[in-house]
């Protein structure tokens, strides 16, 4: 029986949506849309300072229109046509795209197989006098694998001071590994570290396009010079602050992902579909024929993401959805595996 419900499991969105506090705040803002927003991001930076309570003052934060824009600002600040950028595929394709816009040369140090862990020795060996940025993604998109904080610390200790690590942690909320949440502590002693986080995933504000960087104030100033006046909308500012105030919704969103991630993983194992354990709000699979499975899912109104752009040909990334949608997904995959051409 064909599924008639449109199920979008291709963008790693929060299936529960935004916090009720966000919806209430945005409703109150409707009558104020004719007014200009605050000129800078100081209001959000103070809210982040209050939220983290990790002895990071507001000067350690800067906010932009999505984590992608934060990454773009960093590449503009640190890269030139004479520079090199290290990325570790398969990973988020935006790193390479943004670095190429600055005409930086891309140096690829692939993740180790079969578990997609970082190859620290190869990363260190790839550094040259031209290296300026190293991108890490933790948990990594699309593999769901992680970089232990101890290994990140090892990199920070061994790389030259003129090489900056960009630690993209937009999926960190969903990880069950406690040490992954300690990266911010290193920004005190390592000015060559940027931690990138987002309101798009766990907070359910993908449509607001809001992300932020955490780094030493000296480093933050290097990317602030690219800001435009009124670079954030009033709606985004108020939505982010309201989202930070609703810890209950955040924890509910995280719990849903972790529970359903386990459900999908166990179901995939029974179906004998190759997959990797994930610490993100998605699961990577590698079926015998990814194109055929992808098309079959589309025929059944289920949309997932091909991983070709990320550097993994033949993979599919499946976002964690609502329980009822995940059950439909597994039922559909069950029917698919019964086909002769599966």
pLDDT in tens, 75-96: 999 999 999 999 999 999 999 9
Alpha-carbon distances of 60 from 4, 54, 57, 110, 310, rounded to whole Å: 48, 11, 6, 31, 30
Alpha-carbon distances of 128 from 78, 85, 87, 157, 255, rounded to whole Å: 15, 10, 14, 16, 43
Residue ranges matching CATH 3.40.640.10 in the chain: 20-245
Alpha-carbon distances of 182 from 77, 162, 195, 198, 293, rounded to whole Å: 25, 23, 11, 16, 39
pLDDT of residue 55: 78
Residue 130 tokens, joined: 């031209």
Residue 312, phi-psi category: left (phi > 0), alpha (psi -120 to 50), beta (remainder): beta
Per-residue model confidence as pLDDT tens digits over 216-266: 999 999 999 999 889 999 999 999 999 999 999 999 999 999 999 999 999
pLDDT of residue 1: 57
Per-residue model confidence as pLDDT tens digits over 234-243: 999 999 999 9
User: To the nearest whole number, what is the mean pLDDT of the chain?
Assistant: 95
* Omega cis (within 30) before 27: no
Q: What is the sign, positive or negative, of the torsion defined by CA atoms of 288, 292, 298, 300?
A: negative
Alpha-carbon distances of 69 from 121, 186, 191, rounded to whole Å: 30, 23, 20
Contacts (Cβ under 8 Å, ≥6 apart) of 60 = 49, 187, 214, 215, 216, 217, 220
List the CATH code of the domain at 20-245: 3.40.640.10
Phi, psi angles (nearest 5°) of residue 298: -60, -40
pTM: 0.95
The CATH T-level fold of domain 7-16+248-337 is: 3.90.1150
The angle at the Cα of 261, spanning 174 to 110, to the nearest 5 degrees, equals 70
Indicate the pairing of strand 211-215 with strand 61-64: antiparallel
Whether 309 contacts 248, CB under 8 Å: no
Residue 206, phi-psi category: left (phi > 0), alpha (psi -120 to 50), beta (remainder): alpha
**Whole-angstrom distance between the N-terminal and C-terminal Cα of the chain?**
17
Indicate the pairing of strand 84-87 with strand 7-8: unpaired
Q: Is pLDDT above 90 for 104? A: yes
Residue ranges matching CATH 3.90.1150.10 in the chain: 7-16+248-337
Burial annotation 167-203 (CB, 10 A radius, 16+ → b, else e): bbbbbbbbbeeeebeebbebbeebbbbbbbbbbbbbb
Under the banding of pLDDT at 50, 70 and 90, the label for residue 177 is confident
How many other C-beta atoms are found inside a 10 Å radius of the C-beta of residue 39? 11
Under the banding of pLDDT at 50, 70 and 90, the label for residue 176 is very high
By three-state DSSP, how is residue 319 classified? Answer: strand
**How far is it, in rounded angstroms, from Cα 98 to Cα 96?**
6
Per-residue model confidence as pLDDT tens digits over 49-80: 999 886 799 999 999 999 999 999 999 999 99
Provide the β-strand partners of residue 63.
212
* Axis crossing angle, helix 67-78 with helix 94-101, rounded to the nearest 10: 40
pLDDT of residue 53: 83
Whether 317 contacts 11, CB under 8 Å: no
């Amino acid at each position: 029986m064909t599924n008639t419900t449109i199920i979008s499991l291709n963008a790693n969105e929060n299936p529960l949506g935004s916090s009720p506090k966000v919806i209430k705040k945005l409703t109150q803002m409707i009558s104020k849309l004719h007014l200009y927003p605050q000129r800078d991001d100081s209001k959000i930076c103070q809210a982040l300072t209050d939220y983290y309570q990790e002895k990071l003052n507001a000067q350690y934060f800067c906010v932009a229109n999505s984590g992608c824009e934060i990454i773009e600002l960093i590449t503009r600040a640190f890269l030139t046509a004479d520079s090199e950028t290290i990325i570790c595929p398969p990973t988020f394709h935006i790193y390479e795209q943004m670095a190429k816009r600055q005409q930086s040369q891309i140096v690829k140090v692939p993740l180790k197989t079969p578990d997609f862990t970082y190859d620290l020795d190869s990363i260190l060996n790839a550094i040259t006098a031209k290296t300026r940025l190293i991108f890490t993604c933790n948990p990594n998109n699309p593999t769901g694998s992680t970089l232990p904080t101890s290994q990140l610390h090892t990199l920070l200790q061994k790389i030259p001071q003129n090489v900056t690590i960009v630690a993209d942690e937009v999926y960190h909320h969903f990880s069950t590994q406690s040490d992954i949440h300690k990266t911010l502590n290193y920004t005190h002693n390592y000015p060559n570290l940027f931690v990138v986080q987002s309101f798009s995933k766990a907070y359910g504000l993908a449509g607001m396009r809001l992300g932020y960087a955490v780094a030493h104030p000296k480093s933050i100033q290097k990317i602030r010079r690219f800001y435009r006046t009124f670079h954030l909308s009033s709606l985004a500012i108020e939505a982010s602050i309201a989202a930070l105030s609703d810890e209950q919704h955040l924890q509910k969103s995280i719990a849903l992902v972790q529970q359903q991630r386990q459900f999908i993983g166990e179901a995939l194992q029974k179906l004998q579909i190759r997959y990797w354990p994930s610490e993100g709000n998605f699961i990577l699979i590698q079926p015998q024929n990814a194109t055929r499975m992808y098309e079959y899912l589309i025929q059944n109104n289920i949309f997932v993401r091909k991983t070709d752009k990320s550097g993994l040909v033949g993979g599919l990334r499946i976002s964690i959805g609502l329980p009822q949608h995940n059950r439909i997904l597994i039922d559909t995959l069950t029917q698919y595996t019964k086909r002769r051409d599966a």
